[in-house]
Amino acid sequence: MHKSSPYYEFDRRSIGSLHRRHKKGEEILKEDIIALLEEDPDNANDPLLQDYLLPALKGELKPRRGRKPDTMERLLCFEAAMHVYDERLAAFQRDRAEGRRKREPYEKEPSIQVAEEVIAAFRLHCSPPSFLNRISIMKKARNCSE
């Protein structure tokens, strides 16, 4: 990106952005350095970028913000938990319909109760509402792909 461009100092993939943020004392992330080098490998000749390059390679700069992407192991665990949840919820509702299980006034909603059981069984670190949200998203994704 040319220095005369209005985006030169504000586009995170521009070396001008690095200089502007360095002057202002803003935090430079490891991903910023990677983006600069991916955009233009010639940026590696910039002295300021060279000052940040070694700490980035050593892992001394902070990583990307936000939630880390799920591992395949965690996704498979949620997939298995979703199937167990569906089976247990169907059994729970069948027992209620057949009169084998009555609703007590202090009981939670069946979906929350079953979600708590499945979370404990699979040792997932999430709340029942977030578990239900996750499996809802997974089911929607599956329906869209089919």
Average pLDDT across the chain, whole number: 85
pLDDT bracket for residue 45 (50, 70, 90): confident
Q: Which two tokens stand for residue 66?
A: 């936000």
pLDDT higher than 90, residue 118? yes
> Residues 6 or more apart from 52 whose CB is under 8 A from it?
18, 28, 33, 61
Residue 93 half-sphere exposure, CB side, CA atoms within 13 Å? 10
Q: Tell me, what's the pLDDT at 104?
A: 77
State the Cα angle at 23 between 22 and 27, rounded to 5°: 35
Question: For 54-105, what is each residue's pLDDT tens digit?
Answer: 888 888 887 777 777 788 888 899 999 999 999 999 998 898 888 877 777 7
Rounded to whole angstroms, the Cα distance separating 19 from 81 reads 48
Q: Tell me, what's the pLDDT at 33?
A: 87
Residue 82 half-sphere exposure, CB side, CA atoms within 13 Å? 17
Q: Can you give the residue ranges of every domain in the chain?
A: 1-66, 72-145
pTM of the full structure: 0.55
Cβ distance 78 to 120 under 8 Å? no
**Contacts of 133-140 spanning 24+ positions with Cβ under 8 A:** 134/78, 135/78, 135/81, 135/82, 135/85, 138/78, 138/79, 138/82, 139/82
Rounded to whole angstroms, the Cα distance separating 43 from 13 reads 10
